[in-house]
Amino acid sequence: MRRSACSTCGGGNLGRRDFLRVGSLSLLGLGLNHYLQASEALAAAGATGSGGQRKAEACILLWLEGGPSHVDTWDPKPNSNFKPIATNVDGIQVSELLPLTARHMDKIALVRSIQSKGVNHPQASYYTLTGHEHENAVKFPSFASIVTKELGPRNDLHPYMLVPMPWEDDFFDYQDGFMSAFIGSQYDPMVLPDPSKEEFNVPDLRLPKSITKEVIDHRRSFLQAVDEAFRAKEQLADFDKMDAASQRALSMLMSPAVKKAFDMSEESEQTKDAYGRTRVGQSALIARRLVEHGCRFVTASGWVDAQWDTHGDNDKRLRDNLAPQMDRSLAALLEDLDQRGLLETTVVLVMGEFGRTPDINPGGGRDHWPNCWSLAVAGGGIRGGQVIGASDEKGGEVADRLLSVGDVYATVYQALGIDHTKTYTNPIGRPVYIANNLEDKQGQPIPELL
Amino acid sequence: MVVLGQFADGLERDVTGRSAFGVSDSGLAAVDAEGLLRALADGEVEMSAVVGEQSAKTTVRVEGASERRPFSFQRDIGRILTRHGCNTSDCHGGVRGQGGFKLSLQTLIPRDDYKWIIEGGTFKVLTDEQDEPPQPRINREDPAQSPLLLKPTGKVAHGGGKRFEVGSGDYETILNWIKDGAPFGEEDGGSGALITRIEVFPEEVVLDRQGRWQLLVTAVFSDGRREDLTGEVRYASNNTVVADVTAGGVVEALRTGETSVMVRAAGHVASARIGVIAEPLAEYPPAPPPRNFIDEHTFAKMRKFNLAPAGLSSDEEFLRRVCLDVCGMLPPPGRVREFLADPDPDKRDKLIEDLLSSPQYNDFWIYRFGDLFRVAYTPQRQMDTTWSYFEWMRNAIIQNHPYDRIARERIAWEGTRGPLAHAYKIQLMRTPEAIAAEQTRVFHGIRIDCAKCHNHPFEAWTQDQYWGLAAFYSQLTVMSITTARFAGDGMLLDFPEGMGERSNGRTVTHPRTKESVRPAFLDGGLLTGAERENPRMRLAEWMTAPSNPYFAKAAVNRMWGWFFGRGIVDPVDDFRSSNPPTHPELLDALARDFVEHGYDIKHLIRTIVQSRTYQMSSSINATNRDDRINFSRAVPRRIESPVLLDAISDATGTPQPPVYHKVIGGGPAPVGTRVVQMIPDLLPSQFLDVFGRNNRHALPIPHEIGTVAQGLHMLAGDTFNERISREGGRSARLLESGADDQAVIEDLYLATLSRFPSDKERSVVGELIASGPSREESVQSLTWALICSREFGYNH
């Protein structure tokens, strides 16, 4: 009965579905060196645009599915039953539920005055992931897809991954928020299975043993013979695309680098423990691994069934389960990235689809609250150790500096060297801000963060 | 006046510019060198045009030459704003206007424009309140200092640049209007008649690559009067690579192709189709005999556009195509042999009847309409309502219910069972307005969604119309279900009689005016007293009435799209004035025929697949290689992924019952179950994930072709690897049967490509089989190649 106050939250007795979508990449057929050159060229272009000097190369979004209570985490208030604790930055306090993360506050910037739209999970998720309200007729690309498009791939690895499938029971109602909409399916995510599983294996990336290179060559000779007559007659535009895709698929299958990116056995037991041996922890770990091997954007979730949706039993669920997992995985990720010298080049963004009500409901829970909530951002040259904006006494409304996810996107774009003032034109000719604020205007970077 | 010449090469050309004009009585009318006729006095006058040795005459009657028209804001000011592009969607006609000045698109709503000009102010999506004090656009004290004149003449900075000169006719008109006190004038210009539509002559123009053509635009008034608007409208070509159009309405050909020229007058839009052809064929081949009315329309247009139709499809071609299109499956190899050998001249018609009455027809069309009507699992997983909706769909197809009945049931079903309870995805389609927009898209082919927040940016749909439509669904509400099993889940309900809600008059609220909205049909009609009892039923009746201008056309166009890969209006659910049909007469004729035959779906399918146009071969001739829109050859269409997966099972002889999702108990479906018999949403399948799954929760989008994931799945995935080697599968059976290589090749070709291999293929493939490491590997690899081939993956 934990969802008594939430009429739209799904029930939740489904298992997962494997779901893989890999788009064709824009630089088909080029080798790794070409990618790197192209990406350097892009970086140079970014440096001369309004994006300024680019430091960051990639972004990890830790997605807190269900909507975390801000007053019990980033924005401690008297109306929380958890005490504030000091962090390693003077004057910044967080909830006692986040002791490990508190030690990394110098790396983290908190934004405590976010307002968003959408009171129900699908609409709200869509809003925070795209910066636009959900419409049936007009779809907008996800922030992740935009970053992927603007930065381009770095190597053979698909540049945008989603691990594992969020909202997996009802993914159809949520997927739009993660997708590329009109900018092209090559900017859709490749969805990975749960990396904490012993049998973790990315579908279709391993050839059956019996299929050697020789067998593949033989098959391709047959294919050529079979297709010859049809190809001689028809010259459809899709054919070139299909040829390029199959060529690229073959090189991916043969590429040791691609295999390596997914090979969790290369991580030490100690590292796995540090992140937490859970879906959440291991998803954060593989996110680091994927960024290290060339991904541009990884959305790591691992929460099951809208876990942060604490309509009932808020405190117990936060204390026993939710906060410790998040605290551990986030702290481990920041430390790990830092030690590997990746923190300077990787933006880490932590948020859900909204905050939760300042008041506890009769069921001991907190309900959906888009009016004012907090998110955390670190790495990629973002200046940590500061708090932007403020909520009122109870964390119910914005007291200082109303900000939107569009403003946060604009900030991250700048960190990544992407011109945040860009617009895309959608299929009906409407210009769409890549950073869209609450009033459907251009989002503005938060200057203190850069 | 336009003068048309009929030329020996079969083309009609505009020869106005080469003509000399004259009138029989210069006291009644005068004609200038361009052929513009001005009335001087009442009477009848003959006008003549001479080009070289050819001449033509026409009679003109002049009436009311001395009357002066009373002023009308819409006509006299609106047309200036429209002609100079002030009120286009990328300028002041945009949703929020431009630079703080808002106009309605093409003077669609003159009352609003008048207010915005006289009082100032701008449009806000959710409120009528203004941020800043409104700034009037006219200056009554000093009319020449009005922003409405200073801006477009470039006297003060204007983002849109200079639109007209100080002292020009349009300048003087506006100046004098302001001097006269800037009246709104008569709504109808005082004549008692409103413009009901504008017409373009001709509606279809065929040009050679050097061609030019003057369009004529006429306003038709409600009293039947007509008025020349040629010089008063805004012209735009939809594809300026193919043809452009001058401000005066002269179309100029640029390169071979087809496009439309849009003509926008105050509040009205019309279009002309423009074809630019290469050299006319010296000898156009005799047209094949038409099988039915479809062919008469398509062949006439092909003739006009200089496209020679492809020949009749071969029996192999036809058999494979029609089986895939009508039943969603490949013909079994035995049926291919049988059909090819059958000498009966009526065998195609007989086959069509066999297919239409087959169980596979039912499965396939339940699947097709299931996509359209979103027969999907609910996230709430109330499986009984899902099944009850599925059963409704199934019943409708098996009993071949008339389409209008199906539509009425879908729109107006009541209660908690059948189509309604499940029909609307409550997570993403929970509001009356979202449902109304969906039904309008499905049954009228119109995307009205933009009008939710503002008047449609390109079309004549207003925000008021949108909300008027939404109000029909105001009785639907999301209710929490409180039984233990579904605790916390929501469900969409309407309130049947007796629950007291209906009489309470639940309504929707207009987002700007904050007033409650009364249900209003798209044509503005309101419900009368008694009809308010059950507004959705009245809506269903209105939407499906034979007199409804959208319903039948949207239905036949969607069906056409399924058989040709392209609608007569394309995309099939995007009817709008700026997206005109390629064959308007054919669309009308199909719609008429559909209505006359009681909206019989099978009749419509039969009519389409019997036509010579559908049965065209895919062969290419000198003229039709690039044709994608005139159906002059069968253009290969990608087979949709669920059908392709079934085809792989059939072709490889590895029937594989799909697996149910855990939510419906898990485990395999009964032996013999095909993918198209399933609800695709939760069907676990890597193949569908990679090749595209029919997402019944979102607006349909075409599945992406040629992705790396597809390449990976073909090389390393189960669907392609395991099927070709499975015990008991076609490859294994052929290997065990002792058949020789040629017999194996023949059988595999028939099973996959539904045709015999050519001699060349027999020999090349035969050599490849012999060259492999083992015969087993070779046969498997050939099977792999066939199911991965382009020819297999396309319907052609």
CATH number at residue A90: 3.40.720.10
Q: What is the mean pLDDT of residues B362-369?
A: 96
Q: Does A429 touch chain B (CB under 8 A)?
A: yes
By C-alpha distance, the chain A residue nearest B684 is A17
A-B Cβ pairs (cutoff 8 Å, strict): 243
How far apart (Å, rounded) are the C-alpha atoms in residues B226 and B68? 16
Q: Does A213 touch chain B (CB under 8 A)?
A: no
The distance in angstroms from the start CA to the end CA of chain B is: 47
- Comparison of pLDDT for B411 and A128, the residue scoring more: A128
Q: Does A102 touch chain B (CB under 8 A)?
A: no
Residue-level pLDDT at B616: 96
By C-alpha distance, the chain A residue nearest B435 is A136
Distances (CA, A) of B272 to A286, B213, B640: 58, 11, 34
Half-sphere CA count of B562, side-chain side, radius 13 A: 23
Residues 25-44 of A with CB under 8 A from B: 25
Decide: B543 and B439 in contact? Cβ < 8 Å: yes
Contact B488/A185, CB-based, under 8 Å?
no
Domain contains A4: no
Residue-level pLDDT at B428: 52
Residues 227-246 of A with CB under 8 A from B: 227-231, 233-234, 236, 238-246
Give per-residue pLDDT as tens, B545-566: 999 999 999 999 999 999 999 9
DSSP string for residues in B75-122: IIIHHHHHHTTTTSTTTTTSTT-BTTB---GGGSSHHHHHHHHHT---
Residues in B closer than 8 angstroms to A241, CB to CB, are 705-706
Contact A13/B638, CB-based, under 8 Å?
no
The rounded Cα B253 to chain-centroid distance in angstroms is: 26
Residues in B closer than 8 angstroms to A25, CB to CB, are 708
Which residue segment(s) compose the domain that A166 sits in? Answer: 30-449
Domain contains A14: no
Contact B379/A244, CB-based, under 8 Å?
no
The pair of three-digit structure tokens given for residue B646, joined into one six-digit string:
């079934």
Domain contains A8: no
Q: How far is B52 from chain A (nearest CA, A)?
A: 47
The pTM of the full predicted model, rounded to 2 decimals, is: 0.81
Give per-residue pLDDT as tens, B559-591: 999 999 999 999 999 998 888 899 999 999 999
The one-letter amino acid code at A321 reads N
Q: Does A212 touch chain B (CB under 8 A)?
A: no
Residue-level pLDDT at A205: 87
Please check the confidence at residue B502 and state whether its pLDDT lies above 60. Answer: no
Q: How far is A260 from chain B (nearest CA, A)?
A: 17
Question: In 3D, which of B4, B5, B54, B1 has the Cα closest to residue B23?
Answer: B1
Decide: B312 and B725 in contact? Cβ < 8 Å: no
Q: How far is B686 from chain A (nearest CA, A)?
A: 7
Structure confidence at residue B681 as a pLDDT band (50, 70, 90): confident
Residue-level pLDDT at B378: 64
Q: How far is A207 from chain B (nearest CA, A)?
A: 5
Ranking A32-41, B27-36, B519-528 by mean pLDDT, the lowest is A32-41
Decide: B235 and B243 in contact? Cβ < 8 Å: no
CB nearest to A221's CB, from B457, B689, B768: B768
By C-alpha distance, the chain B residue nearest A217 is B781
Q: Does B600 touch chain A (CB under 8 A)?
A: no
Structure confidence at residue B131 as a pLDDT band (50, 70, 90): low
Contact A204/B785, CB-based, under 8 Å?
no
Residues in A closer than 8 angstroms to B717, CB to CB, are 203-204
Interface test with B, best of A130, A218, A246, A441 (most B CBs within 10 A): A218
Domain contains A254: yes
- Comparison of pLDDT for B600 and B193, the residue scoring more: B600
**Can you tell me the ipTM of this complex?**
0.82
Q: Does A185 touch chain B (CB under 8 A)?
A: yes
Please check the confidence at residue B417 and state whether its pLDDT lies above 60. Answer: no
Q: Does B664 touch chain A (CB under 8 A)?
A: no
Q: How far is B749 from chain A (nearest CA, A)?
A: 9
The pair of three-digit structure tokens given for residue A197, joined into one six-digit string:
């599983």
Domain contains A21: no
Structure confidence at residue B486 as a pLDDT band (50, 70, 90): very low
The rounded Cα A75 to chain-centroid distance in angstroms is: 22
CB nearest to B708's CB, from A137, A223, A245: A245
Phi, psi at B690, each rounded to 5°: -85, -40
Please check the confidence at residue B380 and state whether its pLDDT lies above 80. Answer: no
Structure confidence at residue B25 as a pLDDT band (50, 70, 90): confident
Residues in B closer than 8 angstroms to A180, CB to CB, are none
Distances (CA, A) of B655 to B213, B365, B714: 60, 21, 18
Mean pLDDT of chain B: 85
Residues 512-541 of B with CB under 8 A from A: none
By C-alpha distance, the chain B residue nearest A219 is B781
Contact B765/A245, CB-based, under 8 Å?
no
Q: Does B791 touch chain A (CB under 8 A)?
A: yes
Question: In 3D, which of B238, B229, B307 has the Cα closest to residue B272?
Answer: B238
Question: In 3D, which of B654, B648, B726, B651 has the Cα closest to residue B687?
Answer: B648
Domain contains A15: no
Q: Does B667 touch chain A (CB under 8 A)?
A: no
Give per-residue pLDDT as tens, A248-302: 889 888 888 888 999 999 999 999 999 999 999 999 999 999 999 999 999 999 9
Residues in A closer than 8 angstroms to B684, CB to CB, are 17-18
Q: What is the mean pLDDT of residues B120-136?
A: 70
Which range scores top for mean pLDDT: A176-180, B181-185, B243-247, B762-766?
B762-766
Contact B428/A122, CB-based, under 8 Å?
yes
Domain contains A23: no
How far apart (Å, rounded) are the C-alpha atoms in residues A29 and A244? 7
Residues in A closer than 8 angstroms to B772, CB to CB, are 218
CB nearest to A19's CB, from B428, B689, B706: B689
Helix axes B432-444, B535-544, angle to 10 degrees: 20
CB nearest to B713's CB, from A120, A190, A204: A204
CB nearest to B786's CB, from A22, A136, A226: A226
Residue-level pLDDT at B458: 62
Phi, psi at B715, each rounded to 5°: -80, -40
CB nearest to B488's CB, from A3, A190, A242: A3
- Comparison of pLDDT for B52 and B632, the residue scoring more: B632
Q: Does A445 touch chain B (CB under 8 A)?
A: no
Half-sphere CA count of B779, side-chain side, radius 13 A: 27
Q: Does A420 touch chain B (CB under 8 A)?
A: no
Domain contains A25: no
CB nearest to B789's CB, from A216, A223, A253: A223
Residue carrying the six token digits 């040709």: B564
Strands B54-62 and B43-51, how do they pair? Answer: antiparallel
How far apart (Å, rounded) are the C-alpha atoms in residues A353 and A370? 8
Domain count for chain A: 1
Please check the confidence at residue B427 and state whether its pLDDT lies above 50. Answer: no
Give per-residue pLDDT as tens, B285-343: 888 999 999 999 999 999 988 899 999 999 999 999 999 999 999 999 999 999 999 99
By C-alpha distance, the chain A residue nearest B706 is A242
Q: Does B713 touch chain A (CB under 8 A)?
A: yes
Residue-level pLDDT at B628: 86
Residue-level pLDDT at B497: 43
Residue-level pLDDT at B127: 61
Q: Does A225 touch chain B (CB under 8 A)?
A: yes
Which range scores top for mean pLDDT: A368-382, B167-181, B206-220?
A368-382
- Comparison of pLDDT for B527 and B687, the residue scoring more: B687
Q: What is the mean pLDDT of residues B613-642?
A: 92
Residue carrying the six token digits 């907008």: A140
The pair of three-digit structure tokens given for residue B4, joined into one six-digit string:
């048309």
pLDDT along chain A (450 residues), means of 10: 37 30 31 38 42 78 97 97 97 98 98 94 94 84 97 89 86 85 86 93 86 92 95 88 88 86 95 97 98 96 91 96 98 98 97 96 94 98 97 96 98 96 84 92 95
